Amino acid sequence: MTANTPSLCRTRIKICGLTRPQDVEAAVDIGADAIGLVFYAPSPRSVTIAQAATLARYVPAWVSLVGLFVNTPQEEILRVADQVGLSHIQLHGDEQPHHYAGLGRPIVKAIRLPASAGPPSDPSVPAAAIVQTHLLEFEAWRVLAQAVLFDADSIGFGGSGHVFDWGLLSGMSRSLGRHWVLSGGLRLENIAQALADLSPPAIDVSSGVEQVINGRVQKGVKDPVRMRAFVQAVREFDLVRPT
């Protein structure tokens, strides 16, 4: 392939934490491959089953509908998935693989790596030990999960908006081929660098495309202008990315 030939590789984009029908419609219109709904009550982006069922009606065929759960029993996940019509399950807690072998849907398992900014989840544990723990977690899930998602660790579960040290993926991402997702603090200002450094097959964005009012992110409320600019930046990179 010459430098001027468009790449046939396309980065898959999931926009997560949507709570409003107009945001789902906007995400679909700009070409998102997947819509993420959060079923974790402590999260400001959480939706109820009834809200999720309404949002699901705005998701057309061939766009994936992903449910995000944190330490939720398999039976409850199945109940929610059946009622809402989820196509994929994303597990974001401390789940163990042997408890989630019967979901009957593709699983994406989040692996939380030390953030490059912000407070660590446990300051008493050395970073090297944390990385080793996550590597073991990664190995345990790679057989059962359709993909693993690398996110920045935080106090609680997700939603920190922080970026982790991308160097921690050295060698790991290559062994996964196209079965991994990059997440954690992605936004318009850093997405081109993330794509150039890691060439992820899929990315997951949430806070990076939300409304900002007086310097404060409005969690769960997406900004159509920021969503469009973010997706456009990814698609422009796809035109020149190496195969």
Q: Which of 23, 33, 151, 153 is catalytic?
A: 151
Burial of 194 (0-12, 13-18, 19+ CB in 10 A): buried
Q: Token digits for 103? A: 């979901």
- 35 touches 14 (CB < 8 A): yes
Task: Report the interhelical angle of 49-56 vs 21-29 (nearest 10°).
Answer: 40
151 is catalytic: yes
Q: Is 234 buried (19+), middle (13-18) or exposed (0-12) by CB count in 10 A? A: buried
Distance of alpha carbon 53 from alpha carbon 150, whole angstroms: 28
The answer to whether 49 touches 83, Cβ cutoff 8 Å, is yes
Q: 159 CB contacts (<8 Å, ≥6 apart)?
A: 17, 43, 44, 45, 206, 207, 219
Nearest in space to 34 (alpha carbons), one of 12, 6, 9, 19: 12
CB of 187 closer than 8 Å to CB of 230: yes
Catalytic-residue membership of 238: no
DSSP single-letter state for residue 113: E
Active-site residues, by number, are 16, 151
